[in-house]
Amino acid sequence: MTQPVEIHPGLLKDCHDIGPLKLSRLLLMDEAAWPWLVLVPLRPNKVDFDDLDPMDSYRVSDEIRECSMALKRLYSPAKINVAALGNSVPQLHIHIIARFTDDPAWPRPVWGVTEKRRYGEAELRHRIEQIEHEIHSTFGFGDRPG
């Protein structure tokens, strides 16, 4: 039996854990200005996307696509940004961010926006429920990682 993969503390400090997908753990960035998901593939010692074996890279690509489509259906963004930039957190993680023409950083990247807007308790609960429902109803959210 393999050891469970722990999520890096730096990610848990900035994110809320939504739950498992087939390969990854789905997190929500605690930045209420954007619907901002983070996928963490549950494979040990992976830093970059190309560290994944071919089958896992296909699975993660499917999860990125599923999460992107869920954000599009829920929020009708102008654009979805997908990036694996994590230089300060060594664990492989992929950001999936819904962008809007009136968001605080448009058209620039979301990184470097100085004023963070953390979720309030009710807003956080509502956002997570929306995402869980959308992903579960369409893609079987919560299937055991494998």
- Go through the domains of the chain in sequence order and give each one's CATH number: 9-135 (3.30.428.10)
Across the chain, mean pLDDT equals: 90
pLDDT band at 3 (very low <50, low <70, confident <90, very high): low
| pLDDT band at 91; cut points 50, 70, 90 | very high
Identity at 14, one-letter amino acid code: D
Band (pLDDT 50/70/90 cuts) for residue 136 is confident
**Which pairs with CB-CB distance under 8 Å and at least 24 residues apart come from 63-67?**
63/21, 63/22, 63/23, 63/24, 63/39, 64/39, 64/94, 64/96, 66/21, 66/135, 66/138, 66/139, 67/26, 67/37, 67/39, 67/96, 67/135
pLDDT at 12 exceeding the cut of 70 = yes
Report whether pLDDT(109) > 80: yes
**Average pLDDT of 7-18?**
94
Strand 24-29, strand 94-99: pairing? unpaired
Whether the bond between 107 and the residue before it is cis, its omega within 30 degrees of 0, is: yes
H or E element in which residue 127 lies: helix 121-139
Name beta bridge partners: 27.
17, 38
Q: In the prediction, which pLDDT does 146 show?
A: 44
